[in-house]
Amino acid sequence: MPAVSKGDGMRGLAVFISDIRNCKSKEAEIKRINKELANIRSKFKGDKALDGYSKKKYVCKLLFIFLLGHDIDFGHMEAVNLLSSNKYTEKQIGYLFISVLVNSNSELIRLINNAIKNDLSSRNPTFMCLALHCIANVGSREMAEAFAGEIPRILVAGDTMDSVKQSAALCLLRLYKTSPDLVLMGEWTSRVVHLLNDQHMGVVTAAISLITCLSQKNPDEFKTCVSLAVSRLSRIVSSASTDLQDYTYYFVPAPWLSCKLLRLLQCYPPPEDGAVKGRLVECLETILNKAQEPPKSKKVQHSNAKNAILFEAISLIIHYDSEPNLLVRACNQLGQFLQHRETNLRYLALESMCTLASSEFSHEAVKTHIETVINALKTERDVSVRQRAADLLYAMCDRSNAKQIVAEMLSYLETADYSIREEMVLKVAILAEKYAVDYSWYVDTILNLIRIAGDYVSEEVWYRVIQIVINRDDVQGYAAKTVFEALQAPACHENMVKVGGYILGEFGNLIAGDPRSSPLVQFNLLHSKFHLCSVPTRALLLSAYIKFINLFPETKATIQEVLRSDSQIRNSDVELQQRAVEYLKLSSIASTDVLATVLEEMPPFPERESSILAKLKKKKGPGAVSELEEGRREGGELNGGGERGGDASVMATSNASTPSPSADLLGLRSAAPVGSAAPSAGSLLVDVFSEGGPATASASVNDDGFLRDLEQPTEVSDSLLVEGPGDSDSAPPSVASEDPAPPLPEADELLNKFVCKNNGVLFENQLLQIGIKSEYRQNLGRMYLFYGNKTSVQFSSFCTTVTCPGDLQAQLNVQTKPVEPLVEGGAQVQQVINIECLTDFVDAPLLNIKFRYGGALQNVTLKLPVTINKFFQPTDMASHDFFQRWKQLSQPQQEAQKIFKAGQGMDTEVLKAKLLGLGTALLENVDPNPENYVCAGVIQTKGQQVGCLLRLEPNAQAQMYRLTLRSSKDTVSKRLCDLLAEQF
């Protein structure tokens, strides 16, 4: 834009602006503006014609007033008049006013469009440019409607000036971005692509922005641009620095254009044509070679431009992920940058390396830089660079270097910036768990973590430690010793006290032999922390105390004394008070045998029992689990099979106070059958102990979801390493083409969890939680999946696919709706899946989830809990009818029978609830033996209906079941029998 020359200087405007600047107060400014507005109004009054100069001046003043934040409701007409002026400055001010102040006023838009049309057809390049700029600046739909057809013509016309072409390309890009439906490129496509061959570099640069945008939408139509782009790139790269004259920037030929070309190539997979590919590889090598050359200038602009191209080339190499040679070279180049003086370069190098680390070809190469990266983590001055270093360490970690990396990250945590601590803690926890070979190391690490950064350790992290300790006999003694030592520090973090209380309560006896950690010493140590803790922790400690009474009868008197004190038994907090009262009574009334039974050591958590935990977790978030756990711990034996009962009691006390990603899953549907199960004797006790409501939230631990994660981390990590690379393209089709990871080994277990229920938490690890809510009617089902991001960092390229392997495709019809590719930290997204059962089936559909977390690709495959019994319709029938049908289905292939040992207790109510959850009708008074259970139902598929009869005969003495299923179709009987056998 040419500056306003002296002759054109608008003195009135300058005076006005300086007046405004000199105003002392807002009131004075408003007064001055009012005065000026009145003046302009009197000038714009229709009766006298203004010359172009004054019109321009007043329009300028109006523009200035508008930009100061005042409303302008006149002067549009004068601005439009300026458009038809022949003077550049007047036209320019007119366009400026229009671009800033245009609103969808119909009559004016028509006039403006008319003026623009005139200018576009004027053949005066400056006027054409002004008009194009105006269209691009306004970029409204009206503009697009009026000019979307015209601009491509200008763009490709042979006689258009280069500068106009540039403007036209960018203008078209803008219109395409605002209203893609109006910009139809059909006939112009090939001619636009050929702009890449244009003589004028400016035109190419402008055109390439347009092409990149267009090709992202329709990659196929613009496929031809790849070869053109490669040849253009090779011409630029191989040119001497003087060849391109104006477009050489500090000895670097056309850096912007090169970057854009490289970026365009990233929209496409590697070229298939060998010659083109060879040429491209040559280019990339040249770029890498040039990075090694000594700089031609000391100016920062030179190295900036050179590095910009280099980084763009590296991201292209990472995108292709097919040239090991190039990947390694890129990695080495980045390694050099890691020690560069320039902070920005180090940052970029770390960031690119993060993506390189997830490529199988360069993973090893990245690992060689571990020392440098660790050094960067320690010594970098800029926190964002340190953050990148931490990310890279996380990405490059594998079994071989896990110990070193975790140790380094831990030691860094002590001095880490507050803003990244939480993320670091999470990363350390994940790594420690993923690569733990030796569980005492894991315990040490996590305890250290709590010691160093206790405030940033989330509940889940310490839940897991306890889980692991409980499930592994070999570390229990070690853990007890370690926490005992850790607790001796004068100031402990509360999380440490929680872990300590729990572990000593469970396994304190393992170290009680040592006089230095005798029972009383242990108790006194724990109790010394008691008063500094929050209510939930105190509640947990009280539970630990009662466990002590069981473990060490000699401490009974001391502990009873503590429980009896006013500060416990009359505590203002209801939960603490109740615990104190109940524990006191329990300890004084119950005999040692009863105590030992009630307060038995926590059993390890078999997978089979996980359903109820997951269910609770789903309902009330992670906190609720502990409530049940509390119940389990105290309830011990009595609660053996009382899953449903426990559930009911929690339901009763539930108040949904714990916000959780899946809190909305709490549905009445699932509550109804559960509520109907009356609490058994065992669950009664549970009820008493777990009534504390949310106060007990963090009081306890163990969640099977975590447990499972601990046992399978290696698989996940492997897939992580393999699947990582090549996913830099966010376009859905290319992601879909990637192989989903094989299903998790425990996917079947997960499936079994959902046989008898429709809602729950399907899967959970430290990053992601997947909740399910489903409903079925006849042969149709609808499933809502809730993906919760548990971290504070967003997931990118989030993509889920549901596939039906093998025969299932013909048996089940599954439709999904796509989800948003970005999941913000802490957010939850919902996906709806519609299922139609065509005929009976055995397998379950697979759900694959892929997303990027901190640059690393995560890939998880699960089985969707869709089983044949979901399509059950209950049928009620009398005893007589039942046996008649039972006899009708007496062919041997129609019957499936299994005799198996009870996996859990044989509580009547729980069994009933499970059978109801199955979907069948539970028939009372049918079987002559009241102990037996009899059910009937019809499975609805699209093609046919399959009647099903079920008989379950428990043998309480032998703890065995006999399950008999008869249906009109043999596959159905078999499948149902298999499914059900896992449930009891």
Partner 1 sequence: MIGGLFIYNHKGEVLISRVYRNDIGRNAVDAFRVNVIHARQQVRSPVSNIARTSFFHVKRSNIWLAAVTKQNVNAAMVFEFLYKMCDVMAAYFGKISEENIKNNFVLIYELLDEILDFGYPQNSETGALKTFITQQGIKGQHQTKEEQSQITSQVTGQIGWRREGIKYRRNELFLDVLESVNLLMSPQGQVLSAHVSGRVVMKSYLSGMPECKFGMNDKIVIDKQGKGGVTDEAGKSELGGSSGKQSIAIDDCTFHQCVRLSRFDSERSISFIPPDGDYELMRYRTTKDIILPFRVIPLVREVGRTKLEVKVVIKSNFKPSLLAQKIEVRIPTPLTTSGVQVICMKGKAKYKASENAIVWKIKRMAGMKESQISAEIELLPTNDKKKWARPPISMNFEVPFAPSGLKVRYLKVFESKLNYSDHDVIKWVRYIGRSGIYETRC
The binding site for partner 1 (CB under 8 A) comprises 24-26, 31-32, 34-35, 37-39, 41-42, 44-45, 73-74, 76, 105, 107-108
Torsion, Cα of 208, 214, 215, 219 (10° steps) = -160
Q: What does each C-alpha distance from 415 to 30, 386, 409, 707 come to in angstroms?
A: 53, 11, 10, 31
Using the minimum distance from each CB to partner 1, give the nearer residue, 45 or 887: 45
Strand partners, 830: 786
Q: At what angle do helices 343-357 and 383-396 cross, to 10 degrees?
A: 20
Tell the smallest beta-carbon distance from residue 109 to partner 1 (Å).
12
Contact 819/787 with Cβ under 8 angstroms? yes
- Closer residue to partner 1 in complex, CB, 76/579: 76
**508-517 LR contacts (CB < 8 Å, sep 24+):** 508/480, 508/547, 508/548, 508/551, 508/552, 509/551, 509/552, 510/476, 510/477, 510/480, 510/481, 511/477, 511/480, 511/481, 511/484, 512/551, 512/552, 517/481, 517/484
Comparing CB distances to partner 1, the nearer of 106 and 415 is 106
Q: C-beta of 130: minimal distance to partner 1 in Å?
A: 24
Which residue, 105 or 893, is less far from partner 1 as judged by CB?
A: 105
Least Cβ distance, residue 72 to partner 1 (angstroms):
10
Identify which of residues 36 and 709 has a Cβ nearer to partner 1 in the complex. 36
Count CA atoms closer than 13 A to 44's CA, side-chain side: 21
φ and ψ at residue 171, rounded to 5 degrees: -65, -45
Q: Which amino acid is at 339?
A: Q
Nearer to partner 1 (CB atom), residue 76 or residue 790: 76
Of 44 and 412, the one with the shorter C-beta distance to partner 1 is 44
Nearer to partner 1, 44 or 442 (CB): 44
Q: Cβ closer to partner 1: 41 or 223?
A: 41
For partner 1, the closer of residues 44 and 523 by Cβ is 44
Write the CB contacts of 39 (distance below 8 Å, at least 6 apart in sequence). none
Nearer residue to partner 1 within complex by CB, 107 or 438: 107
Helix, strand or coil, per DSSP, at residue 836: strand
Using CB atoms within 10 Å of the CB of residue 642, give its burial: 0 to 12 exposed, 13 to 18 middle, 19+ buried: buried
Q: Which is nearer to partner 1, 47 or 272 (CB)?
A: 47
Neighbours of 488 (CB within 10 A): 14
CB of 88 to partner 1, least distance (A): 27
The sign of the dihedral angle between the CA atoms of 761, 765, 770, 776 is: negative
> Least distance from C-beta 466 to partner 1, angstroms?
39
Inter-CA distances, 568 with 278, 495, 539, 552, 626, Å = 79, 21, 10, 21, 21
In angstroms, rounded to a whole number, what is the distance separating the alpha carbons of residues 289 and 958?
77
874: enclosing H helix or E strand = strand 872-874
Per the listing, tokens 């391109």 go with: 244
* Spatial distance between the Cα atoms of 73 and 101, rounded to a whole number of angstroms: 10
State which H helix or E strand residue 832 sits in: strand 828-837
Which residue number, 31 or 223, has a Cβ lying nearer to partner 1? Answer: 31
Query: Count of residues for the chain?
Result: 984
> Two tokens at 569?
């038994």
CB of 53 vs partner 1, minimal distance in Å? 20
Spatial neighbors of 765 by CB under 8 A, at least 6 apart, are: 705, 709, 716, 860
Q: Which amino acid does the sequence have at 180?
A: P
**Which residue, 34 or 588, is less far from partner 1 as judged by CB?**
34
Minimum CB separation of residue 23 from partner 1 in Å reads 11
**Nearest to partner 1 of 107, 876 (CB atom):** 107
Name which of 625, 690, 626 is nearest 662 in CA terms: 625
DSSP 903: S
Nearest-approach distance from CB 26 to partner 1, in angstroms: 8
Q: Give me the least distance between CB of 112 and partner 1, in Å please.
A: 13
Give long-range contacts, CB 8 A cutoff, 24+ apart: 574-578: 574/692, 574/695, 575/535, 575/539, 575/692, 575/693, 575/695, 575/696, 576/535, 576/538, 576/539, 576/542, 576/695, 578/691, 578/692
Tell me how far, at minimum, the Cβ of 45 lies from partner 1, in Å: 4
Q: How many CB atoms lie within 10 A of CB 355?
A: 26
**Measured in whole angstroms, how far is the alpha carbon of residue 23 from the centre of its chain?**
52
Distance of closest approach, residue 103 Cβ to partner 1, in angstroms: 9
Nearest distance, CB of residue 455 and partner 1, angstroms: 23
Pick the closer one to partner 1 by CB: 32 or 141: 32
Q: Shortest distance, CB of residue 66 to partner 1, whole angstroms?
A: 14
Q: Are strands 846-853 and 768-777 parallel, antiparallel or unpaired?
A: unpaired
Name the phi and psi angles at 735, rounded to 5. -70, -40
Partners of 772 in beta bridges:
760, 785
Provide, rounded to whole angstroms, the least separation between the CB of residue 417 and partner 1. Answer: 23
For the CB of residue 25, give the shortest distance to partner 1 in the complex, in Å.
Answer: 5
Residue 74 or 900 having the CB closest to partner 1: 74
Q: CA-CA distance, 811 to 806, in Å (whole number)? A: 10
Nearest distance, CB of residue 545 and partner 1, angstroms: 40
End-to-end CA distance of the chain: 81
* Sequence letter at residue 951: R
CB of 17 to partner 1, least distance (A): 17
For partner 1, the closer of residues 39 and 879 by Cβ is 39
Interacting residues of 246 by C-beta distance below 8 A, sequence separation 6+:
201
Cβ 386 to partner 1, closest distance in Å?
29
